[in-house]
Amino acid sequence: MQELVATGGTDDVRFLYVRLLDYFPQLLEKEVSGIKEGKNGSWRKTVQKAGKMLNEKNLVTRKKGVWSITDKGRIEVDLEASGFTITKPQTTSISHGNIQEMLLEIGTSLGFYTEKEFEFYDVIWRENRKSLRLSHVFEVQSKGNLDSAFAKLKRAYEAQRTKPFLVISSETDLNRARQSLTREFQDLQTVLIVITFAQVKKIHSNLKNIAEIVREFLLK
């Protein structure tokens, strides 16, 4: 709906197929290319399904491939904007250190005790300062050996059933990560969460707007 508002309220769904890509940085380059070339039918079905749901809620109207936002839809967008701001991926580079700081702030906002460069981990979260168990462990990978990062995450998971996160800089690294998981770290496949720098930045930006409210909910 944000995209419809940005275009004045109405747009052809053929253009929306491409413009909505900015909201899904986790898509592979191959998938993005296919969508832009009109070869990815599953993406069109996904967008159409979302459009149908919005139409049923009277948030948008659809007629012969042209989508328009309703007055109710505009109100919904305004309400979302007051809490969450959807930030499209930026072209400026994000460093390893930037991501570490964002992860620290995200964890703190969610009520965790956070620390970076703990032992050999990039970022860790604990339930509280005195807790011996590492609740979440993050390895930030902008360059270097992915297998080394996997080995650290595997050690943390096996020792304390810690939630392991691999944070990668690009979709290219995502392909490499999948290959390594399949080849040597199959036991991590069901527990490991892989996210990109762009996703961390989006979470950080959105959460920053409501951090105080979240902390109020977490107060015991």
Domains of the chain plus CATH, in order, are 2-83 (1.10.10), 96-218 (3.40.1350)
pTM over 0.75: no
Tell whether the model's pLDDT for residue 123 goes beyond 70.
yes
Mean pLDDT is lowest, of 9-13, 59-63, 145-149, 207-211, for 207-211
Q: What is the mean pLDDT of residues 100-124?
A: 92
Q: Is 71 exposed, middle or buried (0-12, 13-18, 19+ CB in 10 A)?
A: exposed
pLDDT of residue 142: 79
Tell whether the model's pLDDT for residue 100 goes beyond 60.
yes
Write the pLDDT tens digit of every residue in 55-99.
888 888 998 888 888 988 788 767 665 544 444 444 457 889 999
Strands (E), the chain: 10-12, 60-63, 66-69, 113-118, 121-126, 136-141, 163-168, 193-196
Tell whether the model's pLDDT for residue 42 goes beyond 90.
no
pLDDT of residue 212: 67
Confidence band for 211, pLDDT divided at 50, 70 and 90: low
**Comparison of pLDDT for 133 and 6, the residue scoring more:** 133
